[in-house]
């Protein structure tokens, strides 16, 4: 996919799969709501004591993936590898929450102006226990099977 198509997919997808490495080197995979910050980093929040945060403190290497499509000729996705940074700052958590909540509102058909998302008291109480996970992308891969020659012509796969 082109960089524009990749960004559109990320902006239009509510959740991604986040992979960190546990202490034994095995992938730890979780679904996370996320947004892109002004610098193109992937940002999300998590409770500071969560396993993914512990994993990132030990080893900052991370991978994320988003994908769409049920039929082979409709599958498309993006995988990004990079370095995860843990930011322990309540204001940064609140800023990230605003980005994620605003993105979710746009995806849900309720467009919001940047900076106009109001954070509730419940979010504020949570923010004190949360951190920002900021992923600095280093390597991207994307795929769009609808662009494969012959994929659409092959038609749906038959099951027996």
Pairwise pLDDT comparison (31 vs 110), residue with the higher score: 31
* 4, 142 Cβ separation under 8 angstroms: no
Q: Compute the distance between CA of residue 45 and CA of residue 52 in angstroms, rounded to an integer.
A: 11
Mean pLDDT of 76-105: 95
* pLDDT at residue number 130: 97
Domain ranges of the chain: 3-146
Asked whether the predicted pLDDT for residue 137 surpasses 60, the reply is yes
* pLDDT at residue number 11: 94
Mean pLDDT of 65-86: 96
Domain 3-146 falls under CATH 2.30.110.10? yes
* 61, 137 Cβ separation under 8 angstroms: no
* pLDDT at residue number 122: 83
pLDDT digits (tens, 9 = 90+) for 109-130: 987 776 677 778 888 888 999 9
Asked whether the predicted pLDDT for residue 154 surpasses 70, the reply is no
Centre a 10 Å sphere on the Cβ of residue 118 and count the other Cβ atoms it contains. 8
* pLDDT at residue number 24: 96
φ, ψ for residue 43 (rounded to 5)? Answer: -125, 150
Mean pLDDT of 75-88: 97
Q: Compute the distance between CA of residue 44 and CA of residue 99 in angstroms, rounded to an integer.
A: 9
């Amino acid at each position: 996919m082109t960089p524009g198509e990749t960004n559109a997919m990320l902006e239009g997808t509510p959740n991604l799969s986040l992979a960190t490495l546990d202490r034994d080197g095995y992938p730890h995979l979780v679904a996370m709501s996320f947004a892109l910050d002004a610098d193109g980093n992937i940002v999300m929040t998590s409770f500071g004591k969560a396993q993914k945060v512990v994993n990132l403190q030990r080893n900052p290497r991370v991978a994320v993936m988003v994908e769409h499509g049920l039929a082979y000729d409709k599958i498309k996705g993006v995988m990004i590898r990079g370095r995860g940074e843990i930011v322990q700052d309540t204001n940064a958590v609140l800023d990230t929450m605003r980005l994620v909540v605003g993105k979710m509102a746009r995806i849900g058909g309720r467009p919001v102006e940047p900076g106009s998302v109001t954070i509730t008291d419940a979010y504020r109480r949570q923010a004190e226990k949360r951190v920002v996970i900021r992923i600095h992308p280093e390597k991207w891969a994307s795929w769009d099977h609808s662009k494969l020659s012959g994929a659409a012509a092959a038609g749906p796969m038959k099951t027996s």
